[in-house]
Amino acid sequence: MGQWRVLVTGGAGYIGSILVEYLLQMNCIVTVIDNFMFGQTSLNHLCDNRNLKIVNGDIRNPAHMAPLLKEADIIIPLAALVGAPLCNKDVVGADTTNKDAMFWMLNAVSNDQRIIMPTTNSAYGTGDENNFCTEESPLRPISKYAIDKVAVEERLMERENSISYRLATVFGMSPRMRTDLLVNDLTYRAVNDGYVVIFEGHFKRNYIHVRDICEAFLHAIYQFEDMKSNIYNVGLSSANVSKLELCEIIKKQIPNFTIVEGDIKKDPDQRNYIVSNEKLEATGWAPYYTLDNGVEELIKGYQYLKNNKHGNV
């Protein structure tokens, strides 16, 4: 294939605003559709690029989506209401965006078009008796967000030219910042409050830097023929750590960070697992950023970023 034409839905979001830049650097012709619901200006620095087209629209509107789909060789559908809290707050929006619009899109695309879709590893729940999960592990989604993602993934894998990426919990700075993600949130509290009260501190989770996710999407584009029709976990294998361990990693760089455990609430998806990323690593992909790198980057960003609007809820 020559110059790829890539449609990125939600391309002004936390992942998309970095991925779009990477795709343009690959000399792709990129179309972004986003409803800019957070008032973000995360694509400002890319508007001079003639290979970028931006549509201020809604993926739930077939009139917006149909002509864009016809032009695309590759579709990366990032647009979603992400996370259990936001989906619980706007159930109708979650239904129509995360599920209905995705089912419509999967019916509208041709068999030749390639889809690389992010889903979530939160559906693993607590894993097996050792809390260990591979792509073959049973899924036990609890929250509406995870349940809908699983349903869409099942439909996605019914078509051949598809890849599903089950993303670990993402961290790192982005032009459309999210301070509500766990590493980002805990680091923010360490920088600005000096303490945190955590719940279910022994629960383990896997993590991945936002830029490593973007590299994983590029990797899938280049290796598509070998990788298609498969599901892959996307995470940092050295970062299967508990909340308490994560706090200690942050404390190495912010020594006066006080960590308090409290039974204040519960994770809506009861995420407590160790995730294997060996399947994706076997294709030649490897992450670059560690948790220590991410914390260092976040501390730098939090010198000027204040948590007044940089979150999903």
Q: How many domains does the chain have?
A: 1
pLDDT per residue as tens digits for the range 269-309: 788 889 999 999 999 999 999 999 999 999 999 999 976 66
| pLDDT recorded at residue 76 | 98
Domain residue limits at 84: 5-171+208-234
Residue corresponding to tokens 């992909």: 285
Banded model confidence at residue 85, pLDDT cuts 50, 70, 90: confident
Which helix (H) or strand (E) segment holds residue 136: the answer is none
Tell me if 149 is assigned to some domain. yes
- Express each pLDDT in 129-154 by its tens digit: 678 999 999 998 888 999 999 999 99
pTM of the model: 0.94
pLDDT at position 194 over 70: yes
**133 half-sphere exposure, CB direction, 13 A CA radius:** 31
Residue 30 placed within a domain: yes
In a domain, 117, yes or no: yes
CA atoms of 78 and 112, how far apart (whole Å): 20
User: Looking at residue 127, what is its pLDDT?
Assistant: 61
The three-class DSSP label of residue 277 is: coil
The answer to whether position 261 is within a domain reads no
